Chain A
């Protein structure tokens, strides 16, 4: 999906602004937004790729007009509304108006440490050997799927070199749509700066992305 979230190389005004002694959260609502988003993953039953798509699949003016945790919140609302866990009139009324939908599990305080420690590993057993090996030259395909993808625009069509074979991992393009994990080989692909940006690039720049096998073709 072509969205404002895919920012690599976009001309942006103004410098990066580090904030000295930055706090983890800047407001109480950010704390709460973070926590409810994290906690709803378990009863909600969505996966990380569905979450990312729910945040990113919005008009550029909306995406760019929201702060980071406002985007999280909008994504969370969308995921919950899609599954009828909450209804629009409840958000409007700021209280429950309909019975709760049965959920398999909720996150209790005793689960928090273990759930965070376990995380969500994405590596899976490979069903077929990797097509590419370190050193192979590959081209990032020129794809424009209307659904979720993790191949950034700035590398599409460009030629790079397989630097590392990272194992077989859950494929976001499938996982985000509910079509299953569909694990695919994952590679670190390294591009010369000049291949991506032309003569304006620092000649000593190399940029890598981690790309699943379906994103790549042999040159």
Chain B
């Protein structure tokens, strides 16, 4: 894996540089722990939470419910934060969530050009590409180009709406339900909902992909 994939914006960082970072993090953790500012068990729990509990699976549940429950869908689009909290997802970096709906006429895409704001409770921590300079610079100017980078295109004439998360409002894209899923349960539909489809850089899987 190249350094670029690790989120370096510019230039290469050799191994010694990475080691320097590793040593510095270790030094800081030692100092903060010995000074009593941080508790190692809390640090482990923070990591475990975002590695195993809070991730795009949560958002997929929200989307699948919206696809199967029209009343929930209406609540989600009217005021997403309490609707999402009904399923138990809330809090840090998702205090104020707005859900935005894709239609045949309009495709939505979410970015944070200033940093990397992202709806943690429903999508987890952002991927490296979302935090990278190419995405943050290009999404607001050439979103179709971004979609090509992700390997798909939109029909000519489809509107594109880009939401730059410059405040503490976090955006969740509600993608269109794939055709051929009539009668599917929420449980089955969850498997179709990709992380990228909830950011707007991808589409849900098709039924045959999860056969």
Chain A contacts to B: CB under 8 angstroms: 5-12, 14-19, 22, 24-29, 31-36, 38-40, 43-44, 48, 52, 55-56, 63-70, 73, 76-77, 85-86, 90-91, 94-96, 100-101, 103, 106-109, 111-113, 115-123, 150-152, 154, 164, 166-167, 169-170, 172, 186, 188, 190, 196-197, 201-202, 204-212
Of all chain A residues, which has the CB nearest B9? A64
- Assess whether B210 is interfacial by the CB under 8 Å rule: no
- Assess whether B72 is interfacial by the CB under 8 Å rule: no
CB distance from B68 to the nearest CB of A (A): 26
Of all chain B residues, which has the CB nearest A150? B166
**Residue interface bits B187-208, CB-to-A below 8 A is 1, else 0:** 0000000001000010000000
Asked if A91 and B43 make an inter-chain contact with CB atoms under 8 angstroms apart, the answer reads no
Residues of A within 8 A of B146 (CB): 16
Asked if B21 and A70 make an inter-chain contact with CB atoms under 8 angstroms apart, the answer reads yes
Asked if B96 and A121 make an inter-chain contact with CB atoms under 8 angstroms apart, the answer reads yes
The answer to whether A17 and B49 touch (CB under 8 A), given A90-B31, A152-B114, is: no
- Assess whether B181 is interfacial by the CB under 8 Å rule: no
**Residue interface bits B24-47, CB-to-A below 8 A is 1, else 0:** 111111111011111101111111
Interface size on B, residues (CB 8 A): 90
- Assess whether B163 is interfacial by the CB under 8 Å rule: yes
Determine the main DSSP class of A at the interface with B. mixed
Determine the main DSSP class of B at the interface with A. mixed
Chain B contacts to A: CB under 8 angstroms: 1, 3-11, 13, 18, 21-32, 34-39, 41-47, 49-51, 54-55, 90-96, 98, 113-116, 124-125, 127-129, 131-138, 140-144, 146, 149-150, 157-169, 196, 201
Contact of A56 among B4, B5, B115, B128 (CB under 8 A): B115
Asked if A34 and B50 make an inter-chain contact with CB atoms under 8 angstroms apart, the answer reads yes
Asked if A206 and B169 make an inter-chain contact with CB atoms under 8 angstroms apart, the answer reads no
Asked if A73 and B160 make an inter-chain contact with CB atoms under 8 angstroms apart, the answer reads no
Residues of B within 8 A of A208 (CB): 161-164
Q: CA separation between A5 and B117, bound complex, in Å?
A: 13
